Amino acid sequence: MRQFTLKNIILLTLISLFFGVIYWSLGPIYTALTAFLTPFGLGPAANDVLEGIWVMAGPLAGFVFKLPGAATLTETLSAVVEMFIGGQFGAAAILAGLLQGFGAELGFLLTGYKFWNWFSLALSVFFVTIMTFARELIFYGYAKYALSYLLLLFIIRLISTFIFSGILNMMILKMLYKTQVLNETRK
């Protein structure tokens, strides 16, 4: 089985830094969106609308490196970066990053880290959605919502995750492959 090379570690770190800054920048957007949606009874949906962006690093890293642990490590390191540069969620971001990365990893694990296509990405997107939604149920009070409201929030989250962590990540990968930046990791 392949292992991380020094080039892999450097690229993984750069991806984590890049997404850590993106995640940090989402904090104020999340707050503003929550404030906007709350009068309509949809405040919690702000998190679900943005979740697809907050979980992009894991599925992207899984595809870039095609190695067990890449999604979890990259998502967790992105959360560490977010925390260190002053993200509003503090150390809780690290637990969130770990769960998000593990969720993304499950999709690749189920294909035995052998298939790198829309199916494996869809599995990754589905499991990261399940994992993050379970986190909201346990830690953030989603369990108190009516079933119909939970279903709405889950569908919003799944669509967001599919758009950002699925479609957008695939577009990013295609652009990176065109530039031949990832030729070494394509094996």
Secondary structure of the chain in HEC code, one letter for each residue: CCCCCHHHHHHHHHHHHHHHHHHHHHHHHHHHHHHHHHHHCCCCHHHHHHHHHHCCHHHHHHHHHCCCCHHHHHHHHHHHHHHHCCCCCCCHHHHHHHHHHHHHHHHHHHCCCCCCCHHHHHHHHHHHHHHHHHHHHHHCCHHHCCHHHHHHHHHHHHHHHHHHHHHHHHHHHHHHHHCCCCHHHHC
> Is 70 exceeded by the pLDDT of residue 185?
no
Q: What's the pLDDT band for 34 if we cut at 50, 70, 90?
A: very high
pLDDT(39) > 60: yes
Q: What is the pLDDT of residue 182?
A: 77
Cβ-contact 60, 15 below 8 angstroms: yes
Residue 52 contacts residue 77 (beta carbons within 8 Å) = no
pTM as predicted: 0.92
Question: 44, exposed or middle or buried, with CB in 10 Å at 0-12, 13-18, 19+?
Answer: buried
- Domain borders along the chain are 6-186
Q: pLDDT for 131-181, tens place per residue?
A: 999 999 999 899 999 999 999 999 999 999 999 999 999 999 999 889 887
Who has greater pLDDT, 180 or 20? Answer: 20
CA gyration radius, the chain: 16
What is the H or E stretch that residue 58 is in? helix 57-65
Query: How do residues 40-66 score in pLDDT, each as one tens digit?
Result: 999 999 999 999 999 999 999 999 999
Cβ within 8 Å of residue 106, ≥6 positions away: 123, 124, 127, 128, 131
For residue 181, the model assigns a pLDDT of 76
What confidence tens digit (pLDDT) does each residue in 63-111 have?
999 999 999 999 999 999 999 999 999 999 999 999 999 999 999 999 9
